[in-house]
Amino acid sequence: MEYFFNFDKISYLKGKRPDGCILCLIRDGSAEVERLVAAETASFVVSVNLYPYNPGHLILFPKRHVVDIRELSPGERLELDRLVDRCLAALDESHGPAGYNIGYNMGLVAGASIDHLHLHIIPRYPREIGISELIAGARVLVEDPRNTLVRFKEAFKA
């Protein structure tokens, strides 16, 4: 099943939000937010992005509320590096992308709409852009993030 999804980030940014940090609420299992957690380690959570740029778009974030990568301990940095490797292997298995964009947006002016450090892993595919993106500023989302969650969880277990 295909979905036509308009990524109107302004509405998301200006819309009603729950009280508190969204990622902390996800970490805590709050009913106020949709929880698409695919995996967890001692210090980190892996979530399918509810507003994905592409199918398989993940966000990895520390359970501890920090806003800057320099706040992570050396042990947390090592754990995160290993987790990124596991996520890439699982995405290779579940989605088979041709490449990846991996990075942080630290600070509102850098695109960080959530004030809690998180790392984006965005799978990239050949011939992504379509006519709806060029003309209407909308994207055709070929996979619901909830289906991504199921596929990724299975691949992550392997």
Active site amino acids: 118
- Whole-angstrom distance, CA of residue 70 vs CA of residue 24: 19
- Whole-angstrom distance, CA of residue 7 vs CA of residue 1: 18
**Burial of 117: CB neighbours in 10 Å, binned 0-12, 13-18, 19+:** buried
Do 100 and 121 form a contact (C-beta atoms < 8 A)?
yes
